[in-house]
Structures are given as structure tokens and as C-alpha cells.
Amino acid sequence: MSATAVHSLWTTAAAGTDSISKIPAPKIEYGQLSPTLIVVGAAIVGVLIEAFVPRRSRYYAQVFVSAVALCAAFAAVVALAADGYGTTKAHIAAMGAIAVDGPSLFLQGTILLAGLVGLFTFAERRLDPEAHGNRVDSFAAQAASVPGSDSEKAAVKAGFTTTEVFPLLLFAIAGMLVFPSANDLLTLFVALEVFSLPLYLLCALARRKRLMSQEAAVKYFLLGAFASAFTLFGIALLYGYAGSVSYARIAQVVDGTVTNVDPALADTMGNDALLLVGGAMIVMGLLFKVGAVPFHMWTPDVYQGAPTPVTGFMAAATKVAAFGALLRLLYVVLPGLRWDWRPVMWAVAIVTMLGGAIVAITQTDIKRLLAYSSIAHAGFILAGVIATSKDGVSSVLFYLGAYSFVTIGAFAVVTLVRDAGGEATHLSKWAGLGRRSPLVAAVFAVFLLAFAGIPLTSGFAGKFAVFKAAAEGGAAPLVVVGVISSAVAAFFYIRVIVLMFFSEPRPEGPTVAVPSPLTMTAIGLGVVVTLVLGVAPQYFLDLASQAGVFVR
Amino acid sequence: MENLIALLVAAPLLGAAVLLCGGRRLDAVGHWIGVLMSSASFVFGVILFADLLGKDAEHRTLMQHLFSWVPVEGFQADVAFRLDQLSVTFVLLITGVGSLIHLYSVGYMEHDERRRRFFGYLNLFLAAMLLLVLADNYLLLYVGWEGVGLASYLLIGFWQHKPSAATAAKKAFLVNRVGDMGLSIAIMLMFTTFGTFAFGPVLSHTGDTSEGKLTAIGLMLLLAACGKSAQVPLQSWLGDAMEGPTPVSALIHAATMVTAGVYLIVRSGAIFNAAPDAQLAVTVVGAVTLLFGAIVGCAKDDIKKALAGSTMSQIGYMVLAAGLGPIGYVFAIMHLVTHGFFKAGLFLGAGSVMHGMNDEVDMRKYGGLRKYMPVTFITFGLGYLAIIGFPGLSGFFSKDKIIEAAFAKGGTEGWILGTCALLGAAITAFYMTRVMLMTFFGEERWKNQPTRSPEAPSAEPAAEHHGEHAEPHPHESPKVMTIPMIVLAVGSVFGGAFFSIGDRFLHWLEPVTGHSEGDSPLSAAAVTGGTMVCLLIGVGIAWAMYGRRPVPAVAPRGSLLTRAARRDLLQDDFNHVVLVRGGEHLTRSLVYVDHTLVDGVVNGTAASVGGLSGRMRKLQNGFARSYAVSMFGGAAILIAATLLMRAV
């Protein structure tokens, strides 16, 4: 065997020139991985419930198991953080595959909370009128039935519901938990697929406008697969460059601290072209997931077509997970390439901020509007990523936490405004909503103001933090562009507020459904977090600041 | 004893709060609450005055520090009061005359359903005016200054249903803003110059400050005084302010508020003493205004507007005296006090006449009223004698002193100013005699003709009794109105003699304002003689024009000057052409720039962003294949750019 240090199971297997017997038994720190394990376990239990529990009780069993699992996983994260795994005891677990450190725990906590709130919106069953005496949720009665067919009608009549969404949600969350803490490229890829595939499915499951939903899912799947291919290719190239998929090992090769050449890779190791091209391709896969321009085209179509609870969850949690992974990749693996990737990321951030904000101006559908808004926000977060400082990390962490609650809350409000065709997402139907349902309109206005970054909302604190970090990190022009696109973005957020409060209601306008306590909790939590983080952000900024160091 | 000072302000302030917040429950007793609070303030004033009298001249200053208002490093402002000879004089005038006018208003406003509110505003005015004269620093003075401006605005426009009253209130407010700006700039200059705006430090450090800065401060204070005291060039609001109820004209626009400018100049005497140029400007403003007001007063047929011109003119005398420096400060204040008595009395008399004449204000429709309103006639007559300076009455003493002081200024200036003042005395005699003759003497022109014009205020009491077009039945006013008139008449008769014999007022005020005799080229007797001659000429001409000949019921066309004077010497035309038109042109050009340039840029940006948005939106065509191409292109650029960065 070569003198190369054995860094992980994977590298050993890949380098496998020696006999199998030398592979050491993997050492797994189950306690430190417990948040992920709990969620994966619950997802498997959910599959079993689908198999063995009678149809009538499945919904309750699924919601119960999911809620308990998410709460338990969150408790595990808090326990690990309290135990010091976020700071002093941060280390790399599972034979180098998973990093347990501040950013991991912070982001896992955020994803779990977003997942819990998302679960509430998934479980909502009071918005649609009852079909044949059965309460229905936002998901298709039977996913396999062709839209408009007799079998669909029969499924609706029989009161079927797709309770599979709950295990799918849990699998997605499990993948997202691993994604930002993955410490080698293969774990990264596996996590990417684990959370992507359930999301593709979930997108196709809308109860209303099923064709649009399925179209969205297919597009998402095709483009997602395309992006995954890039990522995988990039991983291969990086392996060729460093002879390892471990983050730490690649970083060392980049730094030049390890130069030993694996004989099998003697031709490629240390070839900078491989490094640059491979790195760019992996980054591209991640930029696809966060919805950065020019990899954003799927976002509006998918956000619009997917069932709104799925959109809300996806918009919040995917962004958190993907930015976490991006941060780790750029800060741990490629810091030595800072001078190569920073200018490119600058350009991406600028076109993302401006593109998202500008195209949003002419949108007429509230879900598409929010989709473009999320693109613009991805640009703002990228500005914080580019800061390449500890403040940059913590500001991004804070922004992600704040943003995910606003997003889920906003999409939850969208589920409430309905007419005969389901959700009334066309903006013209929202005219005068403030006169008919002042409370709902006011809550939505709070979310819009937070998106716009108006002071006393979490949006302001977050934006201020990332822009400050970016400016201190030497990216002042980026901040200028950010502020300009914030101004552009403010136009369409405020326009919706004006539409809601200062326009005459239309006679055939939509009604506002009275939700169950589940959605109310989701929305209420969103408002409370938005205002608390806006009025008194310091505690959470400190928390994010403590969590802002990656283990290497 | 010091603690009483705050009560002076607090009593009417409490009254205003109770009356304005109390609602309809207080409608029945509201006016008496107003009278009570104002009288209480007067009683406190008398007690404090007695206390000051008991001390020796050098120690007649009481200070009360209430609390730190703005306790910022480097910017200290306290709510603190200073009661000295000057401010106690004002306190007694304000609360004394104020209480009398409160009492008068009980009768005058009897039939107005908003009487409670009226008294609330009057109380508010008293509180603000007392704050103005009691403040120990310029910032607190400014609060009172704005407070009286607010009260004046509210009271001029009290009959807000009349468009003319609403417009007059707005005009007074706007013109006063110009003056208030002067005061605020003066205060800022004081802060940058002295680092404080408390009277003590500011006024004692004028010696070691450059004259230029003091001149600037002085001119800004003069601008403030011009606004509040209706001096040229900010005089235009006072005539229109007569739209307010007559008690308001008597209290605010004759006796007290309009003299605040004189108070400001006298109080800031140390600044003006050290800035001769500013002083000269003050005297010029005073001299011009005293002639301006007098000429306007000659041509007006509206009794209140004639009196308003007179007020302007008399305050011109005071400002002139104040501009003379230590020669004139004491006499400015003395004339202010005597004027407070006789002018308030004249206005109340005019109100009484209107009360009996269906609110008719046109003197050409009066005549021969002395038989019908004996008390009004006598009190008004005594006020008349006082203002023209009939020997022995109060105006004689105070105005004569000012004319003497103007000559005592010395040099060419002294001659010019003195001549103006003498001329003013002659015109005063003319227009006041005219008012007297047209109102109380001659034939009864009001008989056989309906007098009430339809747009006259319906809220005025007499109208409801006599109907729209009835012939007026002149009658004496009730006791609650005549008693204040009698008291004020007594003050107008004896006030001047009381102050002047033994130079009482001079010795009283001298420790605060300082005094010097000046160097008059004429003896006191010569000045007095000259004044008497002017008086006789003025009265004689008026008698010849209005006493011997019948007064035409419709005003004759008149000379060019008369016609100009009827239009307030074209002040409004001047303002319209210079300020309104100029302002309109300025705003129009600004609006043009705003529309074409600013909005052009803004709208152009918005339109181009919108257009860009529309075009970029087309890229989002819904085909997964186009999306994939976009991703592929993006990835290619990303990779190429990364490689390029390394190559560079």
C-alpha cells in the first residue's frame, strides 16, 4: 500500500491496492449522529405504517411519528450543542464522513424546526371543503391515478389520502441534515440524492392543478438529475486531483502540505485544471439547489406547480441545507482557491440579486413572485458567503434561520386564500384582501416587509448582517448592488401590500379559509420569530457567531 | 415665594386643559372656569409683585428652576423662570388686562355655542404668553413664542365657518412663520456664539463677542419681532386678524401678544447695545411702521381695521423707542403698558358698539351713538383722549417721552426719527378723531337701512335677536361688558401720570434695562409744545372733514393715497407680486425640474427596469430543454471564468 494516510473507508476502498483484510472496522459515533438517525428511523417506521396500519388511522399515526421524531431530533441537536460539540468538542465523526461542529448543529437545528413547521402545513386538513365526507389535505388522493380519470374520482370518493408524504418529508429532512455536515464528497452526493428524490415526488402530489404539479415535478427531476450529473463529474475530477474525496485531504493537497503521489493517479494528481474544473462543477450543483442565476430556471415553475406546503418547506429547508454545504465546501475544501472562486462567485451573486429582483417585478402569480424573491435572497446570502470570514459564516447562518421562518409562514398564508379552484394565487385576486381579512393581510404584510428587509423585522437584521460581513470582507461593490436590488425588490413587496390594503376588493374575490391550529401555529411562529429576530436579534446573532467555526 | 412663579403659568394652562378636554359637560360653567384661572394668575402676579416691591432695587429678581429640559452634554436647556421688574410688569399687564377681557367675553360670547372652547383658547394664550415673558432662556421663550402664535391662529380663525376668518388665520400663521424662523436662527446663532441660550450668560458676555455676530443675532431677533408685532415688512397679517372675535383683537392683537416683539428687543437690550447697526435697523422699522400704520388707519371705514392700523402705529412707537437703546427702553415699556390699557379699552368699546349695532363694523353706517350708549361713549372717549396724547392722560406721558427720546438720539438720525414721531402724533390725532366723530357724533346714518350683511358672522349674538335685515336698535351693553371697559378707562386716564410723576416707572425698570438721558437738541418743553401743536392740527383737520360736513354713507373715491391706504398701502399687492408670484415662479420651475429631470430619471429607471424585467421574463419559457441549456451555458461560463481567473 502506498504511504498515503488512510483517511476514510471510501478512499481506502478506492485506492484498494492491498488486500481487503486490512480495512479497519468502521467506528461510528452513534450519539453524535443521533439527530439524523432518529429522523431516518422515523421515516422507515413511516414506511412500515403505510404497509401495516389501516388506512383510516395512517394519517394520525404518521403525523404523530413525524412530529415526535422531529422534536426528538431537535432535542438531540440541542443536547449535542449544550455538550459543547458546536464549539470545543467539534470534531469529525463516522470515519471522516460527517463533521459535527457549530455550523452543522446550527443548520441541523434550523432544518429540523423548518421541517416541524413544514409538517404542520403538510398535515393541514381543514382548508379544502370535505370531499364525500372526508377531510382532505393539499395532496392528491392517489398519486398513481391519472388526473381527471375515473380512478382518480374513485380514489377521492373512497377518501384516500397520500399519507406517504410524511415519510417522504422525513427522508428529505434526513438528507438535508447530512448535507451541510457531510465531510467528504461522496457523503455529500449521497445526501444530495437522499433529500432530492423525495422532493421530486412531493412536488408531483398536488390535489388541485395536478397536471401543473406533475409537470413541475418532471422538470425539477430532469434538471435536478442534470445538475447532479455535473456534481458527480466534479467529484470524480476532484478525486483525480487529490486522490481522495475527503475534504481535509483535498484541502491539504490544495495547500501543498501533502504532495505524495498515489502511483495509480500519478498522471492527474496535483493537476490544477482538474481542481478548478471539478470544484466549479460541484459548486454549480450546489448553486442549482439554492436557485442562483443562471441555475435558477426551475425555481419559479416548481414553486408554482408544487403543493404550496411543499413549496414552503422546500424554499426554506433546501436553501438552508444547500448553503450549509456550499459554505463548508468553500471554507474547508477550497479556501486555498479563494482567489480563483471569489471573483466568479461575485459575478454569480450580482446576477442572482439583480436577476431575481428585476424579473419579480412583472410577476402576476404570488407563488412565482415568492419564487423570484427567493432567488434574490439567494443572491443576498451569497454576498455573505463571499465574505470568507467568520462573520460571513455566522451572518449566513443567521440569515438562513430568519429567512426560513418567514418563507414557510408566507407560503402558509398563500394556502389560506382560496376560491373555487383551490388556492387563488393570481395577484389580481388579492386586491382588497386587507379590507376583507385584515388579520391575514396584516400577517402577510409583515412577511413581505421582512422579505423587503424593513427594520424591526428579521429580514433587516439578516440583511444587515450579511452586508456588513461582505463589506468588511472587501466586497463593498457587492453590497452596493445588494442594496440597489433590495430597493428594486422592495417595489414588488410593497406593491402587494398596496394591492391588499388600498385597492377595491373584487366582487368575485377569493375567500380566506379558517385553518386548523396546525397552520395557525406555523404562521404564528413565523410572525413571532420574524418580529423577535427583528426587534432583539442580538441573542441569536451571538448564537450564530458562536457556531460560526468549521472543524477541519 | 419663587415657587409661585410656576403657578402663574400653571393656572391658565390647567384651565385650558380642563376646558379643551372637558367636553360638553363643562359648557354651562366653562367660561367661569376660564375667568377664575385667569384671575388666579393675576392674584399670584400681584402677590409676587408685592414681594418684589418689598426688596431693594438691586435684588428684585426671583428665579425658579423647575427641571432640566434637555440635559445633553454641551447642550443644556432648563425649564427655569426669571421674574424681575421687566417680566412682572408684563405679568401684571397680561393677567390684569387678560382677566378683564375674560370677564368681558362672558357677555360678548354669550350666544356662541362654542364659548367653552373660546375660553380654553384664551387660557391657552395666557399660559403661553406668561411662559414667553417668564422664561429664563431663549429656548423656553421660543416655546411661549410659538404657543402664543398657535393661540392667535386658533382665535383669529375661531369662526372657522367664515372663509375670511379661516384665511386670515392662515395668513397670520404663515407670516408669523417668517418671523419665527428669525427667532430660531437667532437662537442657533446664540448657541454657536455663546454655547448657551440662557439670558444670564448670553447677555453678560456681549462685551467679548464680535460686533458682526451680535449684529446678525440682533437682525434675526428684529425679524422675529417684526413678525409677532406686525412691523413692516411683516405687518400684513394684523389687519386681517380682526376677523377674530373682538375680545381677541383687544387682548392678543392690541394689548399683549403683538407687544412680544418689543419685549424681545428690550430683553435682549445688551445685544442691541453692542450692535449699533442692528439698533439702527430697529429704529428704522419702528419709524416706518408708525407712519405706515397711521396712514392706513386714516383710510379705513371698518372700525376694527382702523384700530388695527392704530395698533401697528403705536407698536411702531415702541419699537422705535426700543431701538434707541438705553434712552428709550423704559419708555418703550411704559408706552406698551399704557397702550395696553387704552387700546384694549378702545377695542372693547368697538366691540360694544358692534354688539349694539348688529355686528356692523362700517363706521359710515354709525353716527350719533353717544345718546344710545353713554357708557361706551365715555369709556371710548377717554381711551381716545389717551391715545392722541391729551395732556394729563396716559398716552400724553408715554408718547411724549418717546418723541423726546427720538430727538435725544442726536445727530441727523435724531432729527429724522423725532420728526417722524411728531408727524405720527399728528396723524394719530387725525384718525382717532375721525373714528370718534364718525361713530358717536353726526347724524344717525344707520336709520332706515338694513345694515347686516349676509356674510357677517351668524355666531355674533345680536344677529339672532334682530334678524337678518332689521334696522339696528343701538343699546348699551350688559354690565359684564361695561365694567371691564370702565376699569380700563380708569387705567387709560391715570396710568401715565401714575408712572411718570416722580419717574416711578423709570426707577422701577432701570435696574433691568439701564437708562441714559441722551442728548436732546430740543428742550422737553419744546417737544411737548410741538406735540401739542401736532395734536391740534390733526384734530382740527379731522373736525373740518368729518365734524362740520356730513359723512357720506358711501365712501367717496378719494385721492390716490386714500385709495392706496384703503388697500393697506398695497401691502397685499406687494406681497402678491413679489412673494406669491415670485414663489409661484420658483415652485413652478422647481416642479418643472422635478417632473422632467428628477421624475424623468426615476421613471425612466423604473420603466427600463420594468422593460428589462419583461424581456428577461420571456427567457422563462417553460421548456425544460431551454432551462437545461441555460444551466449548461452557466456551467460552461462558470468553469471558463474559474480557469480564466487562474490564468490571469
DSSP A306: S
Alpha carbon separation from A99 to A90, A384, B106, B488 (Å, rounded) = 8, 22, 87, 95
Cα angle value A323/A326/A327 (rounded, 5°): 85
Give B591→chain A minimum CA distance, Å: 24
Helix/strand/coil for A99: strand
Residue numbers of B between 618 and 647 with CB closer than 8 Å to A: 619-620, 622, 624, 626-628, 630-635, 637-639, 641-643, 645-646
Give A343→chain B minimum CA distance, Å: 8
What is the rounded CA–CA span in Å between residue A251 and residue A278? 14
Subunit contact A226:B620, Cβ cutoff 8 A: no
Please report the pLDDT score of residue B442 as a whole number: 84
* Per-residue confidence band for A336, with pLDDT thresholds at 50, 70 and 90: confident
Give B602→chain A minimum CA distance, Å: 12
Subunit contact A359:B613, Cβ cutoff 8 A: yes
Helix/strand/coil for A365: strand
Residue B54 near residue B62 (C-beta atoms within 8 A): no
H or E, element range at B63: strand B62-72
- Joined together, the cell numbers standing for residue A544 give 450564530
Other C-beta atoms closer than 10 Å to the C-beta of A379 total: 28
Which residues 6+ apart lie within 8 Å of A367 measured at CB?
A303, A304, A308, A311, A411, A414, A425
pLDDT at B457 over 50: no
- Joined together, the cell numbers standing for residue A435 give 379590507
Please report the pLDDT score of residue A522 as a whole number: 94
Please report the pLDDT score of residue A347 as a whole number: 93
H or E, element range at A100: strand A98-100
pLDDT at A99 over 60: yes
Give B596→chain A minimum CA distance, Å: 22
* Per-residue confidence band for B427, with pLDDT thresholds at 50, 70 and 90: very high
- Mean pLDDT across the stretch B128-148? 94
B170-202 residue pLDDT tens: 999 999 999 999 999 999 999 999 888 899 889
Least confident interval from A254-258, B62-66, B164-168: A254-258
Between A406 and A5, the more confident residue is: A406
- Mean pLDDT across the stretch A128-154? 87
Please report the pLDDT score of residue A21 as a whole number: 63
What is the rounded CA–CA span in Å between residue A192 and residue B42? 87
Which chain A residues are closer than 8 Å to B626 by Cβ? 297
Provide the percentage of residues in chain B whose pLDDT is more than 90: 53
**DSSP letters of B428-493?**
HHHHHHHHHHHHHSS--TTTTS----TTS-TTSHHHHHH-SSPPP---PPPHHHHHHHHHHHHHHH
Q: What burial class does residue A339 get, using C-beta atoms within 10 Å of its C-beta: 0-12 exposed, 13-18 middle, 19+ buried? A: exposed
Residue A292 near residue A382 (C-beta atoms within 8 A): yes
* Per-residue confidence band for B22, with pLDDT thresholds at 50, 70 and 90: confident
Q: What burial class does residue A78 get, using C-beta atoms within 10 Å of its C-beta: 0-12 exposed, 13-18 middle, 19+ buried? A: middle
Which chain A residues are closer than 8 Å to B632 by Cβ? 226
B556-607 residue pLDDT tens: 877 888 888 888 877 888 888 887 888 888 888 888 888 888 888 888 888 8
Please report the pLDDT score of residue B138 as a whole number: 94
Please report the pLDDT score of residue B466 as a whole number: 44
pLDDT at B465 over 60: no
Interface test with B, best of A211, A214, A276 (most B CBs within 10 A): A276
The residue of chain A with its CA nearest to that of B618 is A359
Helix/strand/coil for A134: strand
Which chain B residues are closer than 8 Å to A283 by Cβ? 638
Between A15 and A49, the more confident residue is: A49
Helix/strand/coil for A290: helix
* Per-residue confidence band for A264, with pLDDT thresholds at 50, 70 and 90: confident
B365-391 residue pLDDT tens: 888 888 889 999 999 999 999 999 998
How high does pLDDT run on average in chain B? 88
Its ipTM equals 0.87
Cα angle value B198/B204/B205 (rounded, 5°): 95
Residue A177 near residue A39 (C-beta atoms within 8 A): yes
* Per-residue confidence band for B229, with pLDDT thresholds at 50, 70 and 90: very high
- Angle separating helix axes A476-502 and A366-386, nearest 10 degrees: 160
What is the rounded CA–CA span in Å between residue B551 and residue B364? 7
By Cβ distance, the residue of A300, A343, A362 closest to B645 is A343
The residue of chain B with its CA nearest to that of A226 is B628
What is the rounded CA–CA span in Å between residue A280 and residue B644? 12
Residue A379 near residue A483 (C-beta atoms within 8 A): no
Residues of A engaging B, defined by a Cβ cutoff of 8 Å: 218-219, 222-223, 226-227, 230, 272-273, 276-277, 279-281, 283-284, 288, 293-295, 297-298, 300-301, 339-341, 343-344, 347-348, 355, 358-363, 488, 491
* Per-residue confidence band for B470, with pLDDT thresholds at 50, 70 and 90: low
A195-215 residue pLDDT tens: 999 999 999 999 989 999 999
By Cβ distance, the residue of A227, A280, A298 closest to B642 is A280
Spell out the SS3 assignment of A176-232.
HHHHHHECEHHHHHHHHHHHHHHHHHHHCCECCCHHHHHHHHHHHHHHHHHHHHHHH
CB contact B577 to A (< 8 Å)? no
Q: How far is CA A4 from the centre of its chain?
A: 36
For residue A294, whether the previous peptide bond is cis, meaning omega lies within 30 degrees of 0, is yes
Please report the pLDDT score of residue B344 as a whole number: 92
Give B607→chain A minimum CA distance, Å: 11
What is the rounded CA–CA span in Å between residue B186 and residue B220? 5
Give B597→chain A minimum CA distance, Å: 20
Please report the pLDDT score of residue A422 as a whole number: 86
